[in-house]
Amino acid sequence: MARILLAEDDVELCGTLQMVLSGQKHSVTAVLNGLEALEQCRYGQFDLIILDGYLPDMHGIEICRAFRGDGGTAPVLMLTGRVDATAVSEAKAAGATAYLKKPFGIKELIDSVNSLLVQLGSTANVDA
């Protein structure tokens, strides 16, 4: 079981993703805005962080940059509809580990999460 921080401002999508990831036996902390996400990144212990690119009050890239600046090492999966070369480059420069384009399928999300957890060498349950 992995500890996952999910930061997504779309309430319906956040609830769906939380349900799906919990169904995969992960412990999911869900937040709806950037400041809560940043606070959780700084004070929580997570195996994986999933950040929406555009959260109220703070962009996912800013959160990722701050998390890495504070010494955070957990993989960061960015979720966003913006996938031009500049956006991908900015996300990677901020410390994002992977990038998933919206809209995405649930299987695609699960595969991305499992891949990141395996790369991490996590002892988390990654049964799909």
Does pLDDT of 128 surpass 60? no
Number of folded domains that form the chain? 1
Query: What pTM value is reported for the model?
Result: 0.91
| Residue 65 is assigned to a structural domain of this protein | yes
Q: How confident is the model at residue 127 (pLDDT cuts 50, 70, 90)?
A: very low
Q: What is the pLDDT of residue 123?
A: 45
Ramachandran quadrant class, 25 (left: phi over 0; alpha: psi -120 to 50; beta: rest): left
Residues in contact with 25: Cβ distance below 8 Å, sequence separation at least 6, in sequence order: 1, 125, 127
* CATH number of the CATH domain containing 32: 3.40.50.2300
Condensed to tens digits (0 to 9), the pLDDT of residues 54-94 reads 998 999 999 999 999 999 999 999 998 877 888 888 999 99
Condensed to tens digits (0 to 9), the pLDDT of residues 17-38 reads 999 999 999 999 999 999 999 9
Residue-range definition of the domain harbouring residue 16: 3-84+95-117
Q: Minimal CA–CA distance to 112: which of 65, 63, 78?
A: 78
| Residue 101 is assigned to a structural domain of this protein | yes
